[in-house]
Amino acid sequence: MNSEHEHAYASGGEPGVGERLRKARVAAGLSVDDVAAKLKMPHRVVEAMEAEDWKRLGAPVYVRGQLRSYSRLLGLVTSTTLAASGIAPIEPTPIVARSYTPRMTRWFEQGKRRLVYIILTAALVVPAWLATKPHIMGRTDPATVQSLDAPATGSPQVGAISEPAPVANEPTVVASMTPNLSPRPAAKSTLVLRLTGDSWVQVQAPDGRTIEKGLMSAGTTRSYAAGEVGRVTLGNASAVVVQQGDRPQDLTPYQRANVARFTVSSDGSLAPVGD
pLDDT in tens, 164-191: 555 555 555 455 454 554 444 444 568 8
* Beta strand spans in 5-164 (E): none
* Residue 63, pLDDT score: 84
Strand partners, 234: 201, 260
Task: Give the pLDDT confidence score for residue 268 in this predicted structure.
Answer: 73
Tell me which DSSP letter residue 86 carries.
T
Lowest mean pLDDT, pick from 80-84, 123-127, 158-162, 266-270:
158-162
Chain segment 79-112, per-residue pLDDT in tens? 787 877 777 666 666 665 566 678 889 889 999 9
Q: Is the dihedral of CA 151, 152, 158, 161 positive or negative?
A: positive
Listed residue (61, 69, 78) closest to 235, CA to CA: 61
Top-tier CATH class for 2-85: mainly alpha
Distance CA(72)–CA(187), nearest Å, equals 49
Domain map of the chain by residue range? Answer: 2-85, 191-272
Answer whether 242's CB lies under 8 Å from 249's CB.
yes
199-204 and 191-195: which strand pairing? unpaired
Amino acid identity of residue 221, one-letter, is T
